[in-house]
Amino acid sequence: MNKNKPNRSFFLRGLTALLPAMLTTFAFVFIIQFTTRYVTGPINSAIYWTLEGNAAGWAVLETLDIDPAGDEFLSLSTLPPEVSTTFRESEGIRGVDFQAALKAHRQANQGVLYELDALGVDKTKLRAAVKKAVHPIFGLFVALLLLVGVGYLASGFLGRRVVTWFDARLSQIPFIKWIYPYAKQFVEYFLSDSDLEFDTVVAAPYPSEGVYCIAFVTSPGFRTLHETLGGRYIACFVPTSPMPMTGYTVFIEASRLIPLPISVDEALRTTISAGVLIPPQEKIEDLTESLASIIGRPIEEDS
């Protein structure tokens, strides 16, 4: 009898109970952090800058009860010496001479775009007030609207012409042209609404005879292979475990492929779990007897 088995069993049971929740939490945290940093973050920064850096934006902020020219956002340290001197000689911030000098200075420096430091506005305090009035989640809604808007424009004649022109320009830029066209093809393959679907799961004899792997049929293959070898050699993508986004593209004779009655999701789960998660309809009920028949002798269980 193995004395360490109970402790090991408890450890594995605890790991089995907690690990799925931990992995799920990690996935959601990663998605949220990625979205916040690279999607909603830049959009919110652009929104805040638009509200803070021009006359129209200040007018919008006033409707939200935020007055960027108010005393609560005044930054004396960024004002020019002549205005600061007037402040010291006047009766505080509300002094008539100081307010007149500050107003004249701001009018002289208010161009199309505002430089907050030059206007004597505390950028940190103003940004904190704007964030309270315009919640960062607003950037998520803007991102969704942008996606829908771009999709709507890209579906029209003019939009398709613009997308084609944009793709052609990117495909001519050094370094980018080595990645962008293939990334576009990959994304379109999985997300486009074309008739081409990635839904045929097979067992393919790879990497050698007698060894089978899960593969996805991706295309009918190359004409040259069909004509030269005298058969139908199907293009298959063989995903790797536990990261199915990487793998190999192989061409295998159609007659050697075994269609599997499982979905793409079930095949991916099996691949990610290294064969642990088998679809219910493909499970072998008695694993002990199956292994015994494979190795040719009974399997002794630990007492």
DSSP secondary structure letters along 245-256: TSEEEEEEEGGG
For residues 227 and 222, give the distance between their C-alpha atoms in angstroms, rounded to a whole number.
Answer: 9
Query: With 90 as the cut, is the pLDDT of residue 48 above it?
Result: yes
The pLDDT score that the predictor gives to residue 303 is 41
pLDDT at 5: 53
**Binning pLDDT at 50, 70 and 90, where does residue 124 land?**
very high
CA distance 289 to 159: 62
Task: Single out the residue of 271, 268, 270, 231 nearest to residue 252, CA to CA.
Answer: 231
pLDDT at 194 over 50: no
Instruction: State the residue for tokens 């989640």.
Output: 137
Give residue-wise pLDDT tens across range 1-38. 455 555 667 777 877 788 878 888 888 888 888 888 88
CA atoms of 3 and 45, how far apart (whole Å)? 60
CB atoms within 10 A of CB 268: 18
- % pLDDT > 90, the chain: 11
* Six token digits for residue 107: 């009018």
pLDDT at 143 over 70: yes
pTM (two decimals): 0.55
Neighbour count for residue 184 (Cβ, 10 Å): 14
Cα four-point dihedral sign 262, 266, 272, 277: negative
Q: What secondary structure does DSSP assign to 17-34, as a single string? A: HHHHHHHHHHHHHHHHHH
237 vs 158 pLDDT, higher one = 237
Contact 92/140 with Cβ under 8 angstroms? Answer: no
Q: How far apart are the first and last CA of the chain?
A: 5
Q: Max Cα separation, the chain?
A: 102
Find, among 119, 34, 114, the residue nearest to 74 by Cα: 119
Q: Is the pLDDT of residue 232 over 70?
A: yes
Q: Supply the pLDDT for residue 130.
A: 92
Letter for the amino acid at 192?
S
Please identify which residue in the block is written with the tokens 């005044």. 74
- So what's the pLDDT on residue 21? 84
The upper half-sphere exposure of residue 132, i.e. CA atoms within 13 Å in the direction of its Cβ, equals 8
> Hey, where are the domains in the chain?
52-133, 156-191, 201-279
Looking at residue 190, its pLDDT comes to 59
Average pLDDT over every residue of 144-166: 82
